[in-house]
A and B are shown apart, each in its own frame.
Chain A
């Protein structure tokens, strides 16, 4: 009994680690923007040291840029998921693996055929989209009349297969992929250094997202697509080949994922597990945005990327979890999602 008593006790301690990481209370009283021209050293010498909220703009905008890039991948992937969900009523769990396949196709095209980035940007989505069409024709088609959960399980199995095969062949270390020559280097914007390639990724993915939105919402083809989403039987009665449209839609959604993969290849390493970690975050993005609207998925994707980037600046420990926390808050406040129709 004595021994037991001695080992039981209560102590109150301050969290030392949290102390070190958190800015001192005084930092809140600093002016919002400070300009100290003498502080710049090393590689940032060309840029004046500007601070906002006590954080150098260099770091702030750098993370914001990375956030926007992540956001453009979230947008492209959740856009593809939303289109596929609209037509096939399934959640494509293979989406992450297909994103990874896009990056790997770009890498393999360069290694074996000498086809560079610009060629891969066109060829890889087509090739991966074609495998998507095969998957739809051979496998998903048989699940049309069943509970959509079976589609989720099947695509989950496919994701495991694809990831496993690539891991066996290329290991999990990852392969580097060069930034194309035309986009190497960067420019000085005065308050930050902007690498050309990153600017390209953001501009190009916004263009792709907008084009997709335009095709679906503003063209005749898009109106067929939307009609088939609402009532496939009626659209078939008008003589439109709905099964083929479903196949092509799946192929297109997969192609979008592969396109995102090619764009990601020069930024992150090309590795077999690059998709599986991303897809779970994209699922959270989809839950936050709701899959009801195309524009909704695009806007949510970019916004959450920015939020994640800002979290990396102000509270780095939470940067991995911030999107999930936002998902929890959205579920509490607006269960149908920001742009979703109430379920």
Chain B
């Protein structure tokens, strides 16, 4: 037991950062040349889901909490940002003998503001859902998050501004900061890439901070973390809100890319997909969720002709991952190369 990191541990840590830095450089290089070879909309979709999976991984990989309701944050953030960008008007319900609405007429907003509003919505929803869900542990946590997400799915189905079955369609991409038109695919790609990389680096920073170390301690042994004096509930809640917020950012971006926010984004299958992406790439690895997201999105795009079989293939992937390689692709690779990835 070393209380202070000795020279060996320090060298080890330096090696670790080296491998992660190299992998990050490769990833950025690949993403920089990719739009010249691959259809940009596909890349942007995969990038949004990569951020979504990374945000989800923050929770399951580093705190050990399996949320089965992350579609809630992804979907509702995409609704809010699509609404702000397309319509803008704010309706606030209040009770005065009967249900009344204050309608504040605002013009449609710029994309960066829409992103902020969507992300903020996810943060607020994350705070509410997190407060409720961390009251129970383990398997109950998964069931509660799933049930909460299903409840919000029904609200989205019945709500007026969400457009029910149709969703919010034909959302304009607008001009970033009023200057750059995002209708241009390449400009949009650069914008999405920048936001996703920023989110990725933020998550990396969080998991390597003292706060992240406490999260890992909770994952390994919550009772011990409590006995060491950490208020684990509070740490779990902050991690949950962070994860929800970044999922919301991913959802808002996704709505901009497809110019659409629909029920698919809030449905439980979306929550299942993000679990699969993270599991396939590797739970608790830095790059795993990105790899998993690209693989699953590629699978959906290129196997679309198989129709319903996609569901079966996803199920089989789940079963194989759980039974044969629980470390995921990146986890196994890191194990073979003896580095951290």
Contact = CB atoms under 8 A, between A and B. Distances in A.
B107 A139 contact: no
A301 B317 CA distance: 33
Contacts, number: 160
Interface stretch (B15-23, B143-151, B201-209, B251-259): B143-151
Contacts of B102: 10-12
Contact of B322 (A15, A150, A276): A150
A139 B139 CA distance: 19
B144 A331 contact: yes
Interface in A266-297: 276, 280-281, 283-284, 286-287
A156 B268 CA distance: 12
Contacts of B99: 14-15, 18
B322 A280 contact: no
Nearest to B322: A154
A160 B107 contact: no
Contacts of B279: 153
B135 interface: yes
A34 interface: no
Contact of A10 (B104, B144, B312): B104
Main DSSP-derived SS at the A contact region: helix
Interface residues of A, number: 58
Contacts of A325: 151
B187 interface: no
A154 B318 contact: yes
Contact of A164 (B140, B158, B311): B311
A321 B151 contact: yes
B87 to A, nearest CB: 11
B158 A148 contact: no
A153 B147 contact: no
Nearest to B129: A328
Given A157-B319, A168-B309, A324-B150, A10 B142 contact: no
Contacts of B323: 139, 142-143, 154
Given A161-B312, A167-B308, A4 B107 contact: yes
Nearest to B160: A17
A154 B326 CA distance: 11
Nearest to B93: A15
Contacts of B101: 12-15
23 contacts: A8-B105, A8-B107, A9-B105, A10-B105, A11-B102, A11-B105, A14-B101, A19-B98, A22-B98, A91-B139, A154-B322, A154-B323, A158-B319, A161-B315, A162-B315, A164-B309, A164-B312, A280-B150, A284-B143, A287-B143, A317-B158, A324-B147, A327-B144
